[in-house]
Structure 1
Amino acid sequence: MERSGETAINIPESNSAKHKSVPLASATTKAVPLPLPQPAWKRGVSIFDFILRVCALVAALAATATMGTTDQTLPFFTQFFQFQASYDDLPTFTFFVVANAIASGYLLLSMPFSIVTIVRPHAAGVKLLLLILDTVVMAFTTAAAAAAAAIVYLAHNGNSNTNWFAICQQFNDFCQRVSGAVVGSFIAAVILICLVVLSAVALRRH
């Protein structure tokens, strides 16, 4: 094209000019968020949970063994009459032994699950399962300990209204052993209550 005696020269565009500039954001790959490390308190709670289970197992086993081996025979007896006291003479004490034996077996079986919560503090399903089972066993153990405590009280003090005589003056060793077994069972029940509260708090803050 000519204008005023001048010639215009068309210069072809370069290949680099034809291509559109690629945005930097599209060229870079999206960063995948890495899982955040679990807070240290969760692992600490799981370790404390395992320690409590060991303590509860020792208390429940001691209560079971003490009550299950309680038997006393008074030294003065004749060929036809023997004064003997055994735990299986009372259905309440038999229930006590069975309940604490079940609690001991459960606490032993629950320890691998407690170890799983130490390795994987974010495993909410395992904690929920332990929370439910701990609640059931806690109620079972508390009921057995409370029932046995009522019988121990009557054995120590008696009840004149129902003609229940105190036998601990004669069967002193028997009463001491069953009293110790009841105390051990209550200790196991209190620890189980702590386990329930601990699991509930851990799940609440999960």
Structure 2
Amino acid sequence: MDSSKREGEAAINIPESKSTKGKNVAHTTTLMAAPPPPRGGWKRGVAIFDFILRISGLVAALAATTTMGTTDETLPFFTQFFQFQASYDDLPAFTFFVVANAIASGYLVLSLPFSIVGIVRPHAAGIKLLLLIFDIAMVAFTAAAAAAAAAIVYLAHNGNSKTNWFAICQQFNDFCQRISGAVVASFIAAVIFIFLVVLSAVSLHRRH
């Protein structure tokens, strides 16, 4: 008698309470409604492109600095006491050009670690804002240096009869070729800085 009662008691199923069902349903709904984690794929791609552009800008700025800074030509004459020489430091515009591009090169070297951090942490807005501010300053710096040097290069090639500025490139051919190449490299660096500013602005604007 007792054993049959125990078997009957063991066979009784306890129904699940309504409150427990409600909690399970609510928990499942919460899990299903949870938003997906933010995707940083395109921002990481922009950060990688930023790093590549900084290396390219560094190469261009260094090329402009070294080319202009080592430009020096002396015209050969019969005597060593009477010679014509052209050097970059004879003109303040070229000296400013060398200093400006050297500063831009140093900045690009220092900015590479921050660009790497932007690749690892693509959602870090503080680093991008800091780089954006300095990139804008470098755009103005390199563009001003390149424009000032370009004006002198134009006069060296064409001269100006009203101011008695003679075209010296007919005599100092190697000198003019080197300073022209340096100016082109500096303009390339300035354009790269403009692209860096645009990339940083787009990345900061589309934060979500």
State the distance in 1 between where 2:137 and 2:78 align. 45
- Distance in 1 between residues matched to 2:95 and 2:69, nearest whole Å: 8
| TM-score, normalised with respect to structure 1 | 0.85
Structure 2: distance between partners of 1:89 and 1:81: 18
**1:37 CA drift (Å):** 4.0
Looking at structure 1, the residues matched to 110 and 22 of structure 2 have their Cα atoms a distance apart, in angstroms, of 54
| AA in 1 matched with 2:187 | F
2:72 is matched with 71
Matched residue, 1:99: 100
Cα deviation for residue 58 of structure 1 reads: 0.2
**1:138 deviation in Å?**
1.0
Q: Which consecutive residues of structure 1, in runs of 5 or more, have no partner in the other structure?
A: 1-15
Secondary structure of 1:194's counterpart equals helix
Residue 192 of structure 2 is matched in structure 1 by 191
Does the CA contact (< 8 Å) of 2:58 and 2:109 recur in 1?
A: yes
Partner of 1:159: 160
Question: Matched residues in 2 for 1:35 and 1:115: separation?
Answer: 26
How far has the Cα of 1:82 moved from its partner?
Answer: 1.6
**TM-aligned CA deviation for residue 35 of structure 1:** 6.9
Distance in 2 (CA, whole Å) between partners of 1:21 and 1:152 is 87
Alpha-carbon contact 1:38-1:122 (below 8 Å) kept: no
Matched, 1:150 2:151: yes
Q: Helix, strand or coil for the counterpart of 1:72? A: strand
- Superposition CA RMSD, Å: 2.1
Shift in Å at residue 144 of structure 1? 0.1
The residue that corresponds to 2:177 in the other structure is 176
Question: Which amino acid in structure 1 is aligned with residue 170 of structure 2?
Answer: Q
- As a proportion of its length, which structure holds more helix? 2
1:71·1:84 contact (CA, 8 Å) conserved in 2? yes
Larger radius of gyration: 1
Q: Across the two proteins, how many residue pairs are aligned to each other?
A: 188
| SS in structure 1 of the partner of residue 39 of structure 2 | coil
Secondary structure of the corresponding residue to residue 73 of structure 2: strand
Aligned mates of 1:37, 1:71 — CA distance in 2: 56
Moved over 6 A (4+): 27-30
Structure 2, unmatched stretches of 5+, are: 1-13
| % identical aligned pairs | 76
Distance in 2 between residues matched to 1:79 and 1:21, nearest whole Å: 108
Task: Verify the 8 A CA contact 2:40 2:123 in the aligned structure 1.
Answer: no
Contact between 1:68 and 1:87, CA under 8 Å: does it hold in 2? yes
Per-residue Cα deviation, 1:93-150 (whole angstroms, up to 9, x for no partner): 0000000000000001101100111101100111111111000011100000000000
The DSSP-based 3-state class of the residue aligned with 1:168 is: helix
